[in-house]
């Protein structure tokens, strides 16, 4: 299934809200997206001020839509992702001549790229999936990076010291620039695979292909040695300079705070390949979609790691209040006291950016924060059930962490019921429900709507 097919399918399920009013890419579009952030529909901006291209946002803005894209229900989501991570499958790669769209001279000013927040340095591409090869062609990597528009042909790329950064360093050592394919408007499975973190050397396109049951086809770029999903809406062929750097930022990242200005490499765009009527995909930084795409692969890692130390993991939620990144709530079935703490340690090991983690019993709904707070209020004793780990490696996205080294204090809360205390003291009181009372409430709820 392609990006376009998924979008059409969502449209036929009533998940797409068409915005026919003329909307500016500078702040206005962001504001509209933000206003529909919580469980909101896909937004299709059909009339974009100064552009003839449509913009789609909030495509992967709910867990339900991501599950639909992957063809699984929520209970199968993590196993599906984990299975794909363990069984990468090489996708087909077609020659550039097979491309059915348009090739044209690059002009980034013709693309409706959003400026999101008040103090952002300018327009930023936020839904770009970037493929690159090691100079010797042995290692390939796919990842998501923010790209700041500098002029018609140049972007600044934020390279967090991870895999693409490593490839870029290898290119630098060989004295060459790094070829990249920048794909925008790709199937959610490709976005999720690119956001996941398999070991260096694993090609995330192969993970995506595995999630997509071998249906991913790639196309070789015309002017650079890199490839992109064949059905991407827009492909920018680029070269990351290994000599030219510029100040990049400020830019609002996942926590909704401004990331600092750093010197980052310049990407020169050398060619554009696109569908004739391409749709530009925007992801609002710190919006639900951003948090889900980044968070879900980490939830899967936490699910897997915690499953190894307790009998059963019910659910994991990297909650939105924690930026979908810094806070985890995990519901487990425990066998013995102490399992809760082992679950916390496993979670911290599985997701190094994790800062605060809460473990609850399986009767607590991890997506209902009132429920979680209630568990902490009635089942947790700080003197017994709290772990604090000072000076651990955390996330630089956390404003309170050491911005130089990323070290932070981690806190784990074991809010599971202790076996040493009488269980009936922890019972959540229930009201017996008669058929009549149930019907009455349904009627009253309908009236109040």
Q: Which residues are catalytic?
A: 253
Angle between helices 204-211 and 188-195 (to 10 degrees): 140
Which residues, numbered 279-318, are part of the site for Mn ion (CB under 5 A)?
A: none
Applying CB under 5 A, the span of 21-29, 49-57, 135-143, 344-352 interacting with Mn ion comes to 135-143
Give the one residue of 58, 62, 141, 408 binding Mn ion; rule: CB under 5 A: 141
User: What is each CA distance from 47 to 22, 214, 235, in whole angstroms?
Assistant: 5, 36, 22
Q: Tell me how far apart the alpha carbons of residues 73 and 65 are, in angstroms, rounded to a whole number.
A: 10
The residue among 99 and 205 lying less far from Mn ion, judged by its C-beta, is 205
Give the one residue of 146, 163, 290, 327 binding Mn ion; rule: CB under 5 A: 163
Cβ 401 vs Cβ 394: under 8 Å:
yes
Applying CB under 5 A, the span of 74-82, 133-141, 225-233, 418-426 interacting with Mn ion comes to 133-141
Token pair, residue 349, equals 């090991």
Residue-by-residue DSSP string for 334-351: -SSTTHHHHHHHHHHHH-
Cis peptide preceding 250, ω within 30 of 0 = yes
The residue among 76 and 87 lying less far from Mn ion, judged by its C-beta, is 87
Q: Tell me how far apart the alpha carbons of residues 142 and 160 are, in angstroms, rounded to a whole number.
A: 13
CB atoms under 10 Å from CB of 174, counted, come to 13
Find the residue with minimal CB distance to Mn ion: 163
# residues near Mn ion by CB under 5 A: 2
The residue among 141 and 255 lying less far from Mn ion, judged by its C-beta, is 141
Q: How far is the CB of 358 from Mn ion (least distance, A)?
A: 29
Q: How far is the CB of 277 from Mn ion (least distance, A)?
A: 32
Q: How far is the CB of 134 from Mn ion (least distance, A)?
A: 12
Applying CB under 5 A, the span of 93-101, 161-169, 174-182, 352-360 interacting with Mn ion comes to 161-169
Token pair, residue 418, equals 């202790």
Is 264 a binding residue for Mn ion by CB under 5 A? The answer is no
User: What is each CA distance from 385 to 291, 418, 425, in whole angstroms?
Assistant: 28, 9, 18
Residue among 54, 56, 79, 50 nearest 67 (CA)? 79
Q: How far is the CB of 357 from Mn ion (least distance, A)?
A: 25
Which residues are near Mn ion by CB under 5 A?
141, 163
């Amino acid at each position: 299934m392609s990006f376009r097919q998924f979008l059409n399918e969502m449209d036929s399920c009533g998940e797409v809200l068409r915005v026919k009013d003329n909307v500016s890419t500078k702040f206005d579009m962001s504001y509209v997206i933000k206003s529909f952030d919580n469980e909101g529909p896909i937004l299709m901006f059909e009339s974009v001020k100064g552009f003839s291209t449509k913009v789609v946002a909030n495509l992967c803005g709910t867990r339900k839509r991501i599950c639909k894209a992957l063809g699984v229900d929520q209970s199968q989501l993590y196993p599906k992702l984990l299975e794909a991570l363990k069984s990468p499958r090489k996708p087909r790669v077609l020659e550039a001549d097979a491309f059915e769209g348009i090739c044209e001279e690059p002009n980034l000013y013709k693309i409706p790229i959003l400026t999101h927040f008040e103090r952002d340095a300018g327009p930023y591409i936020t839904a770009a999936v970037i493929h690159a090869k090691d100079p010797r062609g042995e290692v390939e990597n796919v990842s998501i990076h923010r790209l700041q528009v500098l002029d018609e042909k140049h972007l600044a790329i934020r390279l967090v010291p991870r895999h693409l950064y490593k490839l870029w360093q290898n290119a630098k050592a060989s004295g060459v620039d790094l070829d990249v394919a920048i794909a925008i408007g790709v199937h959610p499975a490709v976005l999720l695979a690119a956001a996941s973190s398999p070991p260096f050397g694993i090609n995330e396109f192969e993970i995506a292909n595995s999630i997509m049951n071998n249906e991913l086809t790639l196309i070789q770029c015309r002017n650079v040695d890199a490839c992109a999903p064949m059905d991407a809406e827009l492909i920018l062929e680029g070269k990351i300079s290994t000599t030219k750097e510029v100040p990049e930022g400020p830019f609002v990242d996942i926590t909704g705070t401004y990331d600092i200005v750093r010197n980052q490499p310049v990407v020169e765009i050398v060619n554009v390949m696109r569908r004739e009527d391409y749709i530009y995909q925007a992801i609002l930084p710190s919006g639900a979609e951003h948090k889900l795409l980044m968070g879900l692969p980490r939830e899967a890692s936490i699910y897997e790691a915690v499953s190894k130390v307790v009998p059963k993991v019910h659910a994991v939620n990297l909650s939105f209040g924690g930026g979908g990144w810094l806070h985890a709530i995990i519901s487990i079935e425990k066998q013995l006291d102490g399992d809760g703490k082992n679950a916390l340690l496993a979670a911290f090991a599985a997701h190094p950016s994790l800062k605060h983690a809460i473990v609850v019993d399986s009767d607590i709904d991890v997506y209902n924060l009132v429920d979680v707070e209630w568990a902490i209020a009635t089942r947790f004793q700080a003197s017994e059930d709290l772990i604090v780990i000072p000076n651990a490696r955390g996330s630089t996205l956390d404003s309170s962490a050491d911005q130089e080294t990323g070290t932070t204090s981690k806190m784990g809360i074991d809010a599971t019921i202790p076996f040493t205390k009488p269980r009936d003291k922890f019972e959540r009181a229930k009201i017996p429900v008669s058929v009549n009372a149930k019907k009455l409430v349904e009627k009253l709820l309908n009236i109040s709507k």
